[in-house]
Amino acid sequence: MSIHDQYDFYDALGLAGLVARGETTPEELLDAALARTQALNPAINALVHVVPEVARRRIASGLPDGPFRGVPFLIKDLGVEAVDYPSHNGSRLFANTRYRGNSNLYERLERAGLVVFGRTTAPEGGVGPVTEAAVYGGPTRNPWALDRTPGGSSGGAAAAVAAGIVPAAHGSDGGGSIRIPASSCGLFGLKPTRGRLPDGPFAGEGWAGMAIDGFLTRTVRDTAALLDAVQGPDLGAPYHAPPLRGTFTDALERSPGRLRVAVSTESPAGGRAHDDCRQGVEKTARLLESLGHHVEEAAPDADARAMMRAWTVIVACGTALSVRSRLASLGRPLAPDELEPVALAACRYAESKNGADYLEAVETVHAFGRRVAAFFVDYDVLLTPTLAEPPALVGRFAHRFEDFEAYRLGPEGVFPYSPYTAAANASGQPAASLPLHWNADNLPIGMHLACAFGEDERLVSLSAQLEAACPWFHRRPERESFASNATA
């Protein structure tokens, strides 16, 4: 049986094991990933900047003997600066940005033996729960249903992993941007504790410390091993996470103990989650009880809407700063159609704020984080849906809104759809989306677990326990439904 036929049977560590045992080669794995890219990407529009010649050159020069030696990999088209991989950053204004050096995160990924061969799509500036940036010529689509979004802002990464192009991919998360795509695409996605991963040397912090990198994977163990490969602060990091007790991989085999689990399906935006999401939470709560955990209904007493208003100020100011810096580097004013309406609206919204407004927003986020942290004195875990609804239809959150506050907070905006995930960005706590439920339409419905600040290992232990009790690796979208020449 060729590697093309075996590719789906293995996660990233499994493929690395085949290479280590001489049962396949990095070249053969790259060929399989490229064949799938050719067959599947036209339907889902998830990959950009595909540069197989760079990947082949790295293989030929000798790969490091890391835990993922020879495994094909993709980095998000936002952040993770790398000389060999230009980026659009989801924007026509930033199209074909080239970098003068490699980020610390990229260098650590390289040392792990991963073979990067391209980037994955993201919305303009990483804003929003969908991936439909105009610079890519069309929306990125969900392999589970092409009329649905794979989420955002790491939607391209999630779509590529769910489609089977790669077993794992890089993502980043400033308000749910790993966990929302994980939920939408039936994957595991974990946002680590603030400061757990490097962000330099080209960036100090993302969105007042709310943004952090991570991964989209099909197994908990892949995420654990990827985190082990890249975790730890880089030189001059403004935040440091509490030290680990061991490794993330060690945590896979460690019992999480009997945990106090709070459960809520009440939406911080008002009302209750969709019936499909509530059913998933109820099923997961029963599973947790069967595993010996104490489960009861409870939720943090914190004003999520006020936090999201502050989050909106911070993100708008961050967008405006990025645009201003880009135009300064180009030495010219903004040209027509270089920014989509939401980014333009963010810049206008930022212009209406001053320095005191920005600092007040940061203080509001910090105060919210303290209230959420206090909740975890009495509880070890908070279980909610990842999203308040099943994956949205393509176009529903397209960047056509001309009012940034309405896009984020309005009744037809992002907050009612995704009211749960940003809390962990505000508090800096680790949180994950687990693919533990599918609805009657066979759409993935992620379950969201959050733990106390610094308790990443506990979250990994619990996630591994749930994965063993309710496996999901075998669940895949029907590729034949969107690509007739899909690789088996």
Residues 6+ apart with CB under 8 A from 360: 310
Is the omega angle on the peptide bond into residue 336 within 30 degrees of 0, that is, cis? no
The bridge status of strand 431-438 relative to strand 188-191 is antiparallel
Catalytic residues, by residue number, are: 76, 153, 177
Query: What angle separates helix 104-111 from helix 220-230, to the nearest 10 degrees?
Result: 120
Which residues lie closer than 8 Å to 254 by C-beta, 6 or more apart?
Answer: 246, 457, 461
Question: Quick count: other Cβ atoms within 10 Å of Cβ 46?
Answer: 32
- Helix H, strand E, coil C: the string for the chain is CCHHHHHHHCCHHHHHHHHHCCCCCHHHHHHHHHHHHHHHHHHHCCEECCCHHHHHHHHHHCCCCCCCCCCEEEEECCCCCCCCCCECCCCCCCCCECCCCCCHHHHHHHHCCCEEEEEECCCHHHCCCCCCCHHHCCCCCECCECCECCCCCCHHHHHHHHHCCCCEEEEEECCCCCHHHHHHHCCEEEECCCCCCCCCCCCCCCCCCCCEEEEEECCHHHHHHHHHHHCCCCCCCCCCCCCCCCCHHHHHCCCCCCCEEEECCECCCCCECCHHHHHHHHHHHHHHHHCCCEEEECCCCCCHHHHHHHHHHHHHHHHHHHHHHHHHHHCCCCCCCCCCHHHHHHHHHHHCCCHHHHHHHHHHHHHHHHHHHHHHHHCCEEEEECCCCCCCECCCCCCCCCCHHHHHHCCCCHHHHCCCCHHHHHHCCCEEEEEEEECCCCCEEEEEEEECCCCHHHHHHHHHHHHHHCCCCCCCCCHHHCCCCCCC
Q: Are 210 and 425 in contact (CB under 8 A)?
A: yes
Query: What Rg, from alpha-carbon coordinates, does the chain have?
Result: 21
What is the separation of C-alpha 4 from the centre of its chain, rounded to a whole number of angstroms? Answer: 27
